[in-house]
Structure 1
Amino acid sequence: MIKKILMINGTQRTLVVEGHESLAEVLRDRLLLTGCKIGCGEGHCGACNVIVDGKVTRSCITKIAKVPDYAKIETIEGIGTLEDLHPLQAAWIAHGCAQCGFCSPGFIMSAKVLLENNPSPSRTEVREWFNKNRNLCRCTGYKPLIDAVMDAARVLRGEITKEDLMFQPTDNRILGTSYARPSAAAKVTGSWDFGADEIKTLPEDTLQIALVQAEVSHAWIKGIDTSQAEQMPGVYRVITYKDVPGKNRITGLITFPTNKGDGWDRPILCDEKVFQYGDAIAMVCADTVAHAREAAKYVKVDLEVLPAYMSAPEAMDPDAMEIHPGTPNVYYETNCIKGEDTAPIMETAPNVIEMDAYCSRQPHMPIEPDVAYAYMDEEGRVTIHSKSIGIHLHHAMICAGIGVEPEKLRLIQLHAGGTFGYKFSPTIEALVGVAALVTGRPVALNFNMYQMITYTGKRSPGFMHIKLAADEKGKILALEGDNLIDHGPYSEFGDLLTMRLSQFVGAGVDIPNIRNRSRTVCTNHAYGAAFRGYGAPQSFMGGDIAMDMMAAKMGIDPFEFRAMNCYKESEGSTTPNGCKPDVYCLEDLYDLARPYYQKNKAYAETLNREKGENGKFKYGAGVSLGVYGCGLDGVDSSEAWAELNPDNTVTIYDSWEDHGQGADIGTLTHAHETLRQAGFTPDQIKLVMNDTGKTPNSGPAGGSRSNVMTGNAVRVASEMLINAMRKPDGTYRTYEEMVEEKLPLKYEGKWVATACTDCDQETAQGNPFSVYMYCINLPVVQVNMETGKVKVVKFTMVSDFGTIINKTVVDGQVMGAIAQGIGLALSEDFEDLKKHTSLLKCGIPYPNDIPDDIELVYQENHPRPLGPYGAAGCGEGPLAAPHPAILNAIYSATGARITRVPARPEVVKAALDAL
């Protein structure tokens, strides 16, 4: 044991430690200074950054034994409070930097040291500082963080005040403004607890779970021996499939009759087979995490290893075995059949191009690993707290599997540190639910980053084959496609994802004739999960590059080629699904974007002249169009409640799950825009969110549906309350008057997308979405001709999201998408199970990988008829097509056509050498 005397946030603390603990563990476990976060646990992400004797210190890899006595340690809790924010904390709020908020404390502590040593840094110096100190953010795209540091520096220099930074509403209106999200102050002060923080407050008898996971990708399970593990110190129970009370399956909610599976293919704990690397085989429940993990090593699993089919083509080989016996590996097919037969058109058209593209298995890489805990509540319900972004959806998916009646299961969303879609699938909810049922004790499971990366779902790779025909003037005549989605071993949402290819291949382009086939393939690689864009990145990886290739073939500028072929009301253009878009905004959007594109082209030419270094570097400007629909297919719906309280405030209840995108400010703004007519101010609106025991079914926070569906539901509930409060003379009743007149105080608002239809299973024709969003991507890239390394030096995105609900939130969503799009295009992948197992090795972009020169342009003169206050969503359209734009820019710079991502240096260099 070692006695340590440390000065922590100005207070002397005496601790007795074992010595092997990290500084982060001591701060979090012993002192409950949980503003210090543990993300990667390897020093790669900076979430754990604190200040030790004036230096930025990655506390997760700093052993407490090496911290000298009387060291001065500062954490986020010590630099500011909710009532008196540090200038950096105020700037973080003002610039919308705290999206999910998990990385915010680490960034702020890092920036504090920078400004203490350099009161007037340049933007480049700020980026270099964050890059050096390994500060990672997956949400913001980094630019807002640089903006915040620059403004905080101005405050510290006395040039402005903290109050100058903060937006203050005028005329009691916050719609379309930069009003701060309600959770922002707690996130920047370290008082916003995430799942791993809440676990520390659970009762002493809480059991910690360690998983026994498969280390092969495909095998028969011949036996599981838990006897030795059960005798290990601290072990309370080892759980296998034999102990699961229910069906031991998570249902994929298969809804399409053409799906050849039954949807019950994903085990909670593997019983007969292992289907992918990392599958859970057993759970060790013990008194500590260390005891559980040590005992897990002694669970013996007897396996008969089988051939592993790690890609769609491998699983489609005639000799490949069925991964799920009785279900073919190709288990779903959708065809987009629009207009006339395309074969004769392809034979006679004067211009035809044909291409193959590949969109990779992109990992989500949130900085917070997956986490959950569960217990039996006071009403006898299994209560599960997790990062779920679909609490009512997951309720339906796991009830039968864990063996409880629906009324005996309650799901509550934790404060979530980013998910970007992976939590549309239940990951560990069923595991902790089973463990709570079997042990009768509270249980907790907190993944490390290795488990996060290897166990959770990934973007499903897309193998795209596209053929395009155009007339002699460049008008697109027809499109053919034959595409594959590698969805991993589990079918959940695989059919829905594959249907997206029938909806988005060719979206935004007036194509009268389409024959596009897409199939879902079961493989043994990581299971497919939702990821921002959900099917659109695969679609545009094929469809948009095909447009670029046709423009090059015909010698037409690629921007003008897209503009001449976009949806036009004058021509009665329809989507690939044969319906009219919600608004015809694309002609105006291209007109708005044209000068920015021309400026980018001129900028690339200037860089070629001034920084080309005799041909070592080449620069080019690219373009692509991204489109996304808001909603789950067909007649989607959402529900919210509004209640007048005794203190004459209003409580809004909904299940708009937040994974960093701003569900709290979305709910508040939609409610306030209606309630303000009765004089309600934002601070008079309270939010109760995301608890199946307390809040209505608003639907999952995926498919960019929430702003439209739940926003409309909040609006309707607020309108119903306002209508009840309104007196004949136009004034409004108080709570007391409502009670006196025996008027209801609580109102249920529901909104249904009745204008929509499901897509026909044979042709994909229909009207699947009530609202769409559109984004024109305009990057400028630098290509190192000697190494093949590509750097994006500028990115302009010109978007139409209808009415902007909150400007800062929309900016953050777009900039974050640009960063993730750059990662998808150039570096990110989860392919090699031995290599791609950390944030660093998966290729996550650091601050210097993302340009500081980002332009965001919005078109707002096409309000959506069915969107709340005219709004669309904004989460997924910006990530639909940045990557083909970057690849198109590489072609513009070099003449080398890349059609697969990630375009790592070796891929680009091979294409350059082949010229």
Structure 2
Amino acid sequence: MLLSEGSKKTYKSYLLNINSRQYRVVCDANDTLLDIIRGQLKLTGTKRGCDCGQCGVCNVIVNGKVVRACITRMKNVPEHAEILTVEGLGTPDNLHAVQWAFIANNAIQCGFCTPGFIMSAKGLLDKTLSPSREEVRQWFQQHWNACRCTGYKQIVDAVMDAAAVLRGEKEMYEFSAMLKPGEYIWGTNYPRPSDKYKVTGTWDFGDDAGMQLPKDTLYAALVHVDVNHANILNLDITEAEKMPGVVKVVTAKDIYAAGGTNKLFGAQPPQVKGDGWERPILCDKKIFMWGDVVAVVCAESYEEAEAAVPKVKVDLEELPAVMNVEEAIKPDCIEIHPGVPNIYFETHVKKGADAGEIMEQMPYSIEDVFYLQRQPHLVLENDVGFGYWDEDGNLAIQSKHIWIYKAAAFMARGIGLQPSKIRIIQNKAGASFGYKLGITNEAMIAAAVIATGRPVFCRYDTRHHVTYTPKRAPALMRVAMAADANGRITAIDHTSWVDHGPYSEFSPGLVSKLPHYMGSLYGISNVRGTAYGVYTNQKWNTAFRAWGAPQVHTAQEIAVDMLAERVGMDPLEFRYINAIRPGQTFPFGQSPDVFPLAEMVDILRPKYRAAIERAKSGSSEKIKKGVGVAFGVYNSNSAGPDKAYNNIELLPDGGVMLYNTWEEHGQGADIGMVGTAHRALAPLGIAPEKIRLFINDTFRCPDSGPAAASRCQVMVGHAIVDSCNKLLDAMRREDGSFRSYDEMVEEGLPLLYSGSYGCVTKNEKGEIVPCVHTDANGQGMPYACYMYGLFMAEVDVDVSTGKTWVSKMTLIDDVGVINNYGVVDGQMYGGLAQGIGLALQEDFEDPAKYNNLITCGFPYIKDITDDMELIHMETPREFGPYGASGAGELPLTSPHAAIANAIYNACGARVTRLPATKEKVLALLKEKHR
């Protein structure tokens, strides 16, 4: 029987020239160019990001024009079009000038956006070989090139260098030739081992790896419920399971049938009210927040899975939604978890005399309430992962998780397996900034693999990624601070309420940061503080770069400026006289590892005075310029008894293999490991390229802990050094020379050695002791190393609209002795850019509205200043490997506070509740002039 004309599905045949090769492509005219490039031609160098034209990771060149492949329909691609993707530009062994320049300028971090930037840059340089920096920035802006990692500055540097190469004014050089014989790569700009793959698009991220899975792989689509709070009355999957291609719709019933509890453990200490098992894998009784998942549709194709999602019927009884801490802490507020109070955790700090009593005796004091908003991570690679049964019958999950041993432990009971039967492997990750410390897709994928017996692949779309994945927890903070007649800060009293959404996991560690660090950089003798963890129906929260510090520094650094004004002192000089010095301690009673703050002020002072003069001379009636400063501090190990392990194996060619779980999510783990090992193995003279990495597989690598709290250079670095020293000791002959691999084998000596490190510090007696958690009064020695910074922001404020623009950021940092300057510079620039976004535009309040990059306030290149100055102070750390501390958290501790202070300096608008949107600044200006 012939089909009717209306029921036939028709296709079009296209003849295309892609990367100088001719292809005949048969497809639907409404398919996107990205679908064809990736799905049909398997050219995975072009990445899939937002799928709505907002990120530019899929940029390619069509007939000389840069286009976003995700929004370019095939019906709009001309026949015989000349299409260039990143694969047609260069290879890892034969780089194009643009690709080379990106490596030479350290313009790569996670690398997910890199191919899109490179293709966009190629399009620009095909038009002009002499662009200005502003023309480069404008080009990237108009082509929607987004980067969350780098801060953009180095990317512009790279384009300028590539143009110089193409003009014949600069030579490309071999990166291996950067070093002289016998030099360490420690303390240089030596490129990351991954760079040449990232710039050529051959670094396969999760979605790319998912395209290489077995033929019987199922595709998962998540059924999420878009209400903030509701009881589930009924869940009907009957229609969905009848849809074409659907193999199974997995619900909580399947998890229970497999012996799971359907709950994720939140790693809670006993002080938490409740048992820490609040978060369902798949909701079956209640919806706690917008985006909660009730079912997973598993089908033979991604399209069939998505098509079945609307067929799942969920009957709800909507409940009052508690959307902020002010509401949540009211006595008559509904309990989000019945039987557990909304204030479920509290912690305190007590040091010296009662701060309130001291304040009453002081001539100067201030008190105010401050708020830091819920900040979205806004990574460009949406959450993606897959699972399967491995050859030994273990459940293997591959995702971008950054604490892979804990991932197995957190979900084991929930899915009904022992942790020893769960294998976690980290995929190459397109950034995280901390959100992947939490379980996002892993447990749902695991449940689907168990229920179907087949491999399962899951990729969030942008809307679900943005609305479901966790955010930085907002905090409401009341701070009172006092100073004596000489301007010395004598007391601080504070109370904080942390909105952690409906799930408490990780919140005790976060909530404890606030009393740990509030007032920490000023050696204040008398401290009283309390912090509370609070349930709401807002977005659940997890780690975000500098976890806890942006909240603290919002209140602390704006309050310090307010107190300086009350005393009548310049804010920088006020910080100078109050900066913590030897003999003083943090609020938790521990002495800092180094005391660089006063020297930082000395270094900044002439630059600060010049900035003040620029602001005075450059201001007009409409545009007011201002300068603001802020201190910043953060720890470089997980609080308390932190530990890390590393194995090293000698290989037949004389090289080595490192095994650990220093999870890479863009921060430079690969060069961190190689640089540290190269320094430790210097007596062997091993070339950097012979230091190989086998990392981030719980069945093959020892537990190195999470890639968080900027701990890995310290913790894993020490473990690497320990294992290297053991290998050297085994290879060393009596005369001091070293055995070869063959000699080690011949003598029956082991080839693999295990190293470890447990963090230690010094007590008040100068004795080396293990790091320990703080006690009931918030006193203890939780950290081994710290990192410090002094931020200066220069801003322009349009007083007619309230719009603020950051014209320059300066950062003086002390992160110890630097392993790799390119990586550290990149961390600093990127953190400053995120701080600008946090200060002025990033937010996540209404999940119905904040569901893409633009509505969340993603900072594009023209939102970020091109003028960022870094000054490194490298004070060696006693407890860091080769004197190093951590780096990545520091640049997001306090730049936003410096910007808020600069806004006040410019126009008198004191923003105490971030972000400082133009509407907020304008309202404050109008109020000021009433």
Q: CA deviation at 1:513?
A: 0.5
C-alpha separation in 1, matches of 2:607 and 2:530: 36
Aligned partners of 1:639 and 1:166: how far apart in 2? Answer: 29
Question: Residue in 1 aligned with 2:636?
Answer: 630
Match of 2:289 among 263, 273, 276: 276
Q: After superposition, what is the alpha-carbon deviation per residue over 1:655-714, rounded to whole angstroms, capped at 9, x for unaligned?
A: 000110011110111111011221111111111110001111000111111111111111
Match of 1:882 in 2: 895
CA contact (8 A) 1:172 1:681 kept: no
Q: Confirm or deny that 1:601 pairs with 2:612.
A: yes
**2:453 maps to which of 440, 450, 456:** 440
Q: Please state if 1:15 is matched with 2:21.
A: no
**Where does residue 648 of structure 2 map in the other structure?**
642
The equivalent residue for 2:813 is: 799
Instruction: Name the aligned partner's letter for residue 822 of structure 1.
Output: I
- 1:290-315 per-residue CA deviation (whole Å, 9 max, x = no partner) reads 11111110101111111110111111
The 1-side partners of 2:731 and 2:175 are apart by 36
The structure 2 residue matched to 1:826, chosen from 830, 833, 840, is 840
What is the alpha-carbon distance in structure 2 between the residues aligned to residue 21 and residue 761 of structure 1? 60
Secondary structure class of the residue paired with 2:170: coil
C-alpha displacement at 1:606, in angstroms?
3.3
State the alpha-carbon separation in 1 of the partners of residues 814 and 608 from structure 2. 16
Query: Which 10-residue stretch deviates more, 753-762 or 791-800?
Result: 753-762
Is the partner of 2:521 in helix, strand or coil?
coil
1:504-563: CA deviations, max 9, x gaps? Answer: 111211100100111000010000110001000000111111101001111211011111
In the alignment, which residue of structure 1 is the partner of 2:921? 908
Which residue does the alignment assign to 1:592? 603
Aligned partners of 1:506, 1:713: CA distance in 2, in Å?
33
The answer to whether 1:654 aligns with 2:660 is: yes
Partners of 2:175 and 2:190 within 8 A in 1: no
Q: Secondary structure at the residue paired with 1:592? A: helix
| Structure 2 portions without partners, runs of 5+ | 1-10, 762-769
Kindly indicate whether the alpha-carbon contact (under 8 Å) linking 1:334 and 1:761 is maintained by their aligned counterparts in 2. no
Q: 1:532 aligns with which of 545, 569, 574?
A: 545
Tell me which residue corresponds to 2:225: 214
Matching of residue 486 in structure 1 with residue 490 in structure 2:
no
Give the secondary-structure state (helix, strand or coil) at the position aligned to 2:140: helix
Once the two structures are TM-superposed, the CA of residue 605 in structure 1 deviates from its matched residue by 2.5
Task: Give, in angstroms, the shift of residue 167 of structure 1.
Answer: 6.7
Whether 1:474 and 2:487 are equivalent positions in the alignment is yes
Task: Read off the aligned partner of 2:212 and give its amino acid letter.
Answer: T
Matched, 1:722 2:733: no
Structure 1 residue aligned with 2:671 = 665
> Which residue pairs with 2:78 in the alignment?
68
CA distance in 2, matches of 1:33, 1:563: 56
Distance 1:833 1:447 in 2: 16
C-alpha displacement at 1:761, in angstroms?
A: 4.0
Distance (whole Å) between structure 2 residues aligned to residue 670 and residue 83 of structure 1: 25
Q: Distance in 2 between matches of 1:599 and 1:250?
A: 54
**TM-score, normalised on structure 2?**
0.97
What residue identity is the alignment partner of 2:23?
A: R
Q: Secondary structure at the match of 2:16?
A: strand
Secondary structure of the corresponding residue to residue 151 of structure 1: helix
Q: Matches of 1:894 and 1:738 in 2, distance apart?
A: 71
CA drift of 1:428 comes to: 0.6
Mapping for residues 405-416 of structure 1, pairs under 5 Å: 405-416=418-429
**CA shift at 1:337, angstroms?**
0.7
Quick one: which of 777, 780, 787 aligns to 1:766?
A: 780
- Please show how residues 650-799 of structure 1 align to structure 2 within 5 Å: 650-755=656-761, 756-799=770-813
Asked if 1:379 is matched to 2:392, the reply is: yes
SS in structure 1 opposite 2:492? strand
Structure 1 CA distance for aligned equivalents of residues 226 and 312 of structure 2: 13
Give the one of 858, 872, 877 matched to 1:844.
Answer: 858
SS in structure 2 at match of 1:343: helix
Q: Secondary structure at the match of 1:189?
A: coil
Separation in 2 of the partners of 1:735 and 1:427?
Answer: 44
Partner of 1:90: 100
Instruction: Tell me if structure 2 keeps the 8 A contact 1:91–1:165.
Output: no
Question: Conserved in 1, the CA contact under 8 Å of 2:723 and 2:754?
Answer: yes
Distance 2:177 2:226 in 1: 52
- By how many angstroms is 1:20 displaced? 1.7
Q: How many Å separate the matches in 1 of 2:232 and 2:866?
A: 51
Q: Distance in 2 between matches of 1:803 and 1:21?
A: 52
SS of the residue 2:173 aligns to: helix
Taking the aligned partners of 1:594 and 1:690, their CA distance within structure 2 comes to 45
Q: Which residue of structure 1 lines up, in the alignment, with residue 326 of structure 2? A: 313
Counterpart CA distance in 2 for 1:625 and 1:261 is 37
Shift of 1:881: 0.5
Structure 1: distance between partners of 2:92 and 2:495? 56
Q: SS state of the match for residue 589, structure 2? A: coil
Which residue of the other structure, out of 530, 537, 550, is the alignment partner of 1:517? 530
Instruction: Specify the alignment match of 1:32 in structure 2.
Output: 42
Q: Output the CA distance in 1 between the equivalents of 2:716 and 2:279.
A: 30
1:560 aligns with 2:560: no
More divergent stretch after superposition (162-171 vs 619-628): 162-171
Q: Deviations over 1:420-446 (max 9, x none)?
A: 110011111101011111100000000
Shift of 1:392: 0.6
Cα drift, residue 407 of structure 1: 1.9
Match of 2:764 in 1: none
2:826 aligned to 790, 795, 812, which one?
812
**Is structure 2 residue 214 aligned with structure 1 residue 203?**
yes
Instruction: Name the SS for the 1:328 alignment partner.
Output: coil
Unpaired runs of 5+ residues, structure 1, are: none
Q: Within 1, Cα distance between the matches of 2:533 and 2:177?
A: 48
1:225 aligns with 2:231: no
Aligned partners of 1:154, 1:828: CA distance in 2, in Å? 36
Alignment of structure 1 residues 331-350 onto 2, 5 Å: 331-350=344-363
Contact kept, 8 Å, 2:771 with 2:784, in 1: the verdict is no
Counterpart residue number, 2:340? 327
Partner of 1:743, secondary structure, is coil
Which residue number in structure 1 is paired with residue 125 of structure 2?
115
The equivalent of 1:393 in structure 2 is 406
Query: Which residue number corresponds to residue 872 of structure 1?
Result: 885
AA paired with 1:334? T
Structure 2 equivalent of residue 258 of structure 1:
271
- Structure 1 position 760, deviation (Å): 3.2
Aligned equivalent of 2:146, options 120, 136, 142: 136
Cα RMSD (Å) of the superposition? 1.0
Deviations 1:313-364 (A, max 9, x none): 1111211121112211100001111111112111111001001110000000
> Helix, strand or coil: the match of 1:508?
helix
User: What's the secondary structure of 2:311's corresponding residue?
Assistant: coil
C-alpha distance in structure 2 between counterparts of 1:599 and 1:12, whole Å: 59
Contact 1:94 1:167 in 2 (8 A): no
Partners of 1:116 and 1:914 in 2: CA distance? 52
In structure 1, the partner of 2:625 is 619
- What is the SS of the residue equivalent to 2:520? coil
In the TM superposition, residue 599 of structure 1 has moved relative to its aligned partner by 2.6
Residue aligned with 1:297, SS: helix
Does 1:234 pair with 2:234?
no
- One-letter amino acid of the counterpart of residue 116, structure 1: D
Check whether the contact 1:90–1:165 (CA below 8 A) recurs between aligned residues. Answer: no
Write the deviation string for residues 347-397 of structure 1: whole angstroms up to 9, x where unpaired. 111001001110000000001100000000001010000010010111110
What whole-Å deviation, never above 9, does each CA across 1:726-750 have from its counterpart, x for those lacking one?
1121111111111222222111100
